[in-house]
Structure 1
Amino acid sequence: MIHAIALVLGMQLTGEGIARIAGFSVPGPVIGLVLLAILLAAIPSLRAIVEPLANTLLGHLSLLFVPAAVGLIQHLGVFANNFWPLILALSLSTLATLVVTATVFVLVDRWMGSANTSDEAS
């Protein structure tokens, strides 16, 4: 499992380096995750190395939310003072996400449907 941890942290470090050197606004760990996904797709045998670590992390995923919960409790006064604006922002952003997701799904479905129809016709 130490090899898997080294691989995952190495990809995160690489992503962080790329983000800082190139000046990307995308967080380094996200770039590292994309690099890891590309590496796993290119070298399928790495899956056997990374899978036990991934399963262990997923098994303890709830522990990763503890720092966020502590931060929420520390800033409870800010949330209490801005309760309604936060509720409005969360509601509108959730609604916007649902609308955009549904629209993209319908557009891709139409696009794929027309591609499948043309394949069947020929």
Structure 2
Amino acid sequence: MFTNYLFQFARILAFCFLGEVCHAVLPLPVPASVYGLVLLLLALNFRLIRLEDVKEVGVFLTGIFPLLFVPAAAGVMELWAEMGEMLLPIIIAIIPVTVLVMVTAGKTTQALTSRKKNKETAANDGIAE
């Protein structure tokens, strides 16, 4: 059982490493973690690896994800004096972007839900005839 977790973690680390390689090789301003996640997504979609090969460790890592923000929050608290004078511009930048993301996510969800309902209705109408 323990070795299963180690192998799952090793697979995830392999994609993290591949993301670092892509970041070093490609001249794009994309973080290595994004490359790694995209490569993992592609491997899952093309069935190069199965979801069961990374699921348990992925769920665990998702569960402890909030702990990973503690060092960043501590850094913000340490630099609070310097950030205090930039607080108003930061808030002015954050609020509209947050609203835009929320509206976009909501509209996208509504459109996808509506599309799914329309497909189900069309499928049910086809069966009823």
Q: Is the 8 A contact 1:13 1:29 kept in 2?
A: no
Partner deviation per Cα, 1:77-120 (whole Å, 9 max, x = no partner): 1222222221111112223334544566677789x59x96xxx8
2:34 is equivalent to residue 33 of structure 1: no
Normalising by structure 2, we get a TM-score of: 0.71
Q: Which runs of 5+ in 2 are unaligned?
A: 120-124
Q: Which runs of 5+ in 1 are unaligned?
A: none
Partner deviation per Cα, 1:25-44 (whole Å, 9 max, x = no partner): 11111111111111122146
Distance 1:109-1:63 versus aligned 2 partners, 3 A rule:
closer
Partner deviation per Cα, 1:52-78 (whole Å, 9 max, x = no partner): 101211222221111111111111112
More helix by share: 1
Distance 1:103-1:54 versus aligned 2 partners, 3 A rule:
closer
Count of residues paired in the alignment: 120
Q: CA RMSD in A?
A: 2.8
Deviation at 1:49, TM superposition (A): 2.3
% same residue: 25
Normalising by structure 1, we get a TM-score of: 0.75
The residue identity in structure 1 corresponding to 2:6 is I
- Which residue does the alignment assign to 2:13? 9
Q: Decide which of 61, 68, 89 is 1:64's aligned counterpart.
A: 68
